[in-house]
C-alpha cells in the first residue's frame, strides 16, 4: 500500500502503516514461554491478576462504547458484553483455584492502561471504536499466533482469545470501527491513529510487566 498523506482511514491501514509497533504488541518472550511451558508461576500469576484488573475496567470501556455506538453495532457489542460476564467469572475462578489474592494494587503499567481507557471512553466514537478493536485484536493476535502446540494449561487459556470465534468477533469490531472511520473527520482519524499507537505501547509494556514480575502473592 502506498503511503498516504493524512491519518489512516481503515484498521487494515493502521496495521500496514505500523508493523513494528504492532509486532511488539503481539509477540513477547512471555508468550513464547507460555508456549514452551517454561513461564514461571509468578510471572503467569502476575499476568492473571493484573489482567483481571484490566478486564474489569475494559468492561466499563465497552459499556461507554455501547452508549455512543450507532444502533447497527448493538448486536455485536451486546454479544461482546455478554462474553465479558463469562470472562470476569473465568478470571475469578482461576484466581481462586491458584490461591491468589486481589488485595494488591494495580501495577503502574496496568494503572496507565486503566487511565488510557478512561480517556479513550471520552473521545469521539471513531477513535473509541478503533481503540476497542485494537485492544481485542492484539490479544487475538498474541494468543492466537502462539497457541498451536502451546503447553497446557496455557493452551486452554489461550483459546479464550485465540479461538476462531474470537477472531470472528474481532472482524466484526474491525468492520464497525471502519464504518466509524469512514464517517469521521480528519481530526478524529488522527485521534484514532494516536490511540492505536498507544494501545500498541501499552500491550508491549503489559507483557513486559508480567514477564519481569519476580514475586507475587
Q: Which residues here bind ligand HMH, judged by CB under 6 A?
A: 51, 54-55, 58, 135-136, 138-139, 203, 206
- CA 34 remoteness from chain centre: 18
CB 109 within 8 A of CB 209: yes
Query: Which contacts of 157-161 are long-range, i.e. CB under 8 A and separated by 24 or more positions?
Result: 157/94, 158/34, 160/87, 160/90, 161/136
Query: Shortest approach of ligand HMH to residue 15 CB, angstroms?
Result: 16
Nearest residue (CB) to ligand HMH, 51 versus 198? 51
Nearest residue (CB) to ligand HMH, 113 versus 125? 113
What is the spatial distance between Cα 174 and Cα 172, in angstroms, rounded to a whole number? 5
Query: Shortest approach of ligand HMH to residue 37 CB, angstroms?
Result: 21
Nearest residue (CB) to ligand HMH, 88 versus 194? 88
CB 184 within 8 A of CB 124: yes
Nearest residue (CB) to ligand HMH, 196 versus 206? 206
Beta-carbon contacts of residue 128 (< 8 Å; ≥ 6 apart)? 64, 65, 68, 120, 121, 195
CB 143 within 8 A of CB 31: yes
Nearest residue (CB) to ligand HMH, 48 versus 190? 48
Query: Shortest approach of ligand HMH to residue 58 CB, angstroms?
Result: 6
Query: Shortest approach of ligand HMH to residue 163 CB, angstroms?
Result: 13
Residue of this chain nearest to ligand HMH (CB atom) = 139
Query: Shortest approach of ligand HMH to residue 185 CB, angstroms?
Result: 28
Amino acid at each position: 500500500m502506498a503511503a498516504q498523506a493524512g491519518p489512516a482511514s481503515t484498521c487494515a491501514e493502521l496495521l500496514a502503516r505500523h508493523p513494528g509497533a504492532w509486532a511488539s504488541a503481539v509477540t513477547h518472550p512471555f508468550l513464547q514461554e507460555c508456549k514452551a511451558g517454561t513461564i514461571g508461576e509468578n510471572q503467569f500469576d502476575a499476568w492473571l491478576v493484573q489482567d483481571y484488573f484490566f478486564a474489569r475496567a475494559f468492561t466499563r470501556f465497552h459499556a461507554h462504547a455501547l452508549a455512543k455506538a450507532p444502533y447497527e453495532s448493538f448486536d455485536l457489542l451486546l454479544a461482546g458484553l455478554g462474553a465479558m460476564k463469562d470472562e470476569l467469572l473465568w478470571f475469578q475462578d482461576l484466581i481462586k483455584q491458584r490461591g491468589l489474592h486481589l488485595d494488591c494494587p494495580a501495577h503502574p503499567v496496568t494503572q496507565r492502561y486503566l487511565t488510557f481507557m478512561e480517556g479513550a471512553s471520552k473521545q469521539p466514537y471513531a477513535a473509541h471504536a478503533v481503540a476497542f478493536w485494537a485492544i481485542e485484536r492484539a490479544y487475538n493476535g498474541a494468543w492466537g499466533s502462539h497457541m498451536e502446540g502451546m503447553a497446557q494449561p496455557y493452551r486452554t487459556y489461550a483459546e479464550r482469545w485465540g479461538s476462531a470465534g474470537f477472531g470472528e468477533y474481532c472482524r466484526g469490531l474491525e468492520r464497525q470501527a471502519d464504518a466509524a472511520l469512514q464517517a469521521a473527520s480528519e481530526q478524529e482519524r488522527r485521534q484514532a491513529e494516536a490511540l492505536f499507537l498507544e494501545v500498541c505501547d501499552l500491550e508491549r509494556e503489559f507483557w513486559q510487566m508480567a514477564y519481569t514480575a519476580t514475586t507475587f502473592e
